[in-house]
Structure 1
Amino acid sequence: MAGILDNFRCPTCECIDLGDKRNAVAAVISGVLFYSGWWIIIDASVQYSAAEMPHAVHACGAVASFAFFMVNAVSNGQVRGDNYSDGCLGTTGARIWMLLGFLLTFGALTASMWVLFGIYVVNTTHSNAYPGVAVFLQNALIFFATLVYKFGRTEELWD
């Protein structure tokens, strides 16, 4: 049962061969997602007052942004243990650091869902749910930017 997916390969699209440009494409897509998330939340905070959009809801995006940098500060080679044994706790420290980053990312995404549904959808005092949607979209886009940048690059070009 342990090796059930060892020979499974995802189908590749032969019409798109990124080759050496894979890292650049992953970085650009990730940057556009990250930028779009912040653009949406800045737009919402400019349109709505502090009574309609409390300042505390911005903590979700700040935590997600910090987690983005935490996850992507560790290379895949460090997590796998390829030629890396120095540093704080070696490979184990890199794995713990990346796990904490992913936990923060999931926590920020969960908190943004709580803000959306707990404050804007269920609570009828707010007439417009767009600020909650903006908080959720910001965190979802930062989450996807983290995944694209972490798993969309190849390590061979950086080693």
Structure 2
Amino acid sequence: MAVFLDNFQCERRNVASVVTGILFFTGWWIMTQLWYCRPQQLNHAFHTCGVFPTLAFFMINAVANAQVRGDSYESGFWLFVGFMLMFGVLIASMWILFGAYVTQPL
């Protein structure tokens, strides 16, 4: 795989961004199809599991390569807030989905 990537004039971070973008698009595609096919079974709280990670995804990918490498003298506040938002959404989505599916009476 590394030999294959050496033939292209791009950084590995760009390839990782493309792969995560494809996975993110796939997640949104599945979410919209579920909303279209079964709107009565989809709780409105489930949309927060998709909207806030999208905001965090754009915040993290908006950071320049120089800042990630440490060549920039700017503070890393934007990147820090993006990662904290992503972590908070991960915890919140587990809480929402656990409450929706596990704690339901049989």
For residue 101 of structure 2, what is the aligned residue in structure 1? Answer: 120
Of the three residues 39, 60, 67, the one matched with 2:49 is 60
TM-score normalised to the size of structure 2? 0.79
Residues paired across the two proteins, number = 103
Distance 2:21 2:81 in 1: 22
Whole-angstrom CA distance in 1 between matches of 2:101 and 2:60: 30
Matched residues, percent identical? 45
Map of 1:3-82 to 2, 5 A cutoff?
16-19=3-6, 20-21=9-10, 22=12, 25-50=15-40, 52-82=41-71
Query: Which is worse superposed, 58-67 or 25-34?
Result: 25-34
Which ranges of structure 1 fall in alignment gaps of 5 or more residues? 1-12, 86-90, 126-159
Deviations along 1:21-41, whole A, 9 cap, x unmatched? Answer: 445533431221111110111
Superposition misfits of 4+ residues, deviation over 6 angstroms: none
Letter in 1 for 2:89: A
Give the superposition deviation at 1:69.
Answer: 0.6
Q: Provide the aligned C-alpha RMSD in A.
A: 2.3
Unaligned runs of 5+ in 2: none
CA deviation digits over 1:1-51, x for unaligned, max 9?
Answer: xxxxxxxxxxxx66x43022445533431221111110111122122234x
The offset of 1:73, in angstroms, is 0.8
SS of 1:122's equivalent? coil
Which structure would you say has the larger RCO, counting Cα contacts within 8 Å and 6 or more residues apart? 1
Q: Quote how far apart the aligned CAs of 1:110 are.
A: 1.4
2:49–2:93: 8 Å Cα contact kept in structure 1? Answer: yes
More helix by share: 2
